[in-house]
Amino acid sequence: MATVDLNGVWKLDRDENFDEFLSKMGVNWMKRKIINGFAKNITVTIKQSGDDFVISTKTPRDTNETKFKIGEPFKGANKMTGNSFEMKPRIEDGKLIVEPVSGTDNPTVTREIINDELVQTMNKDGVVCKRIFKRGEAQ
């Protein structure tokens, strides 16, 4: 059973080092400019029931939904890079940590609540990006 509660609707408030992170992910300059243009209009909805998670990320362009269960690997595709991936989620020290399975070129993503904000930290080969979300309203 999960020991974190990330349930809710979260609106992006600010980010740190996002453009450098996108560059490290292999996203070209033009696509980075488009992605950064949408940055302030991102809503993440997390629905959590025990070890089952559904994370929906909504931008002005589209919505992406990821479903997974703690401890079980899952597959998906990164819309920014077009690469497919396999990830494995776990809970540790009050954080949801989603790590790439070996051979997968995807960042580790950590989500945690700090001072009533959802902090999403992404680490790709030492380039660390933080995206900070505040509680929003369901849309």
**HEC profile for 53-118?**
EEEEEECCCCEEEEEEECCCCEEEECCCCCCEEEEEEEEECCEEEEEECCCCCCCEEEEEEECCEE
Quick: pLDDT tens for 2-32: 578 999 999 999 999 999 999 998 888 998 8
Superfamily for domain range 8-135: Calycin beta-barrel core domain (2.40.128.20)
Quick: pLDDT tens for 50-98: 999 999 999 888 888 999 999 999 988 777 677 778 899 999 999 999 9
Give the residue, 56 or 104, on which the prediction is more confident: 56
* Domain extent listing, the chain: 8-135
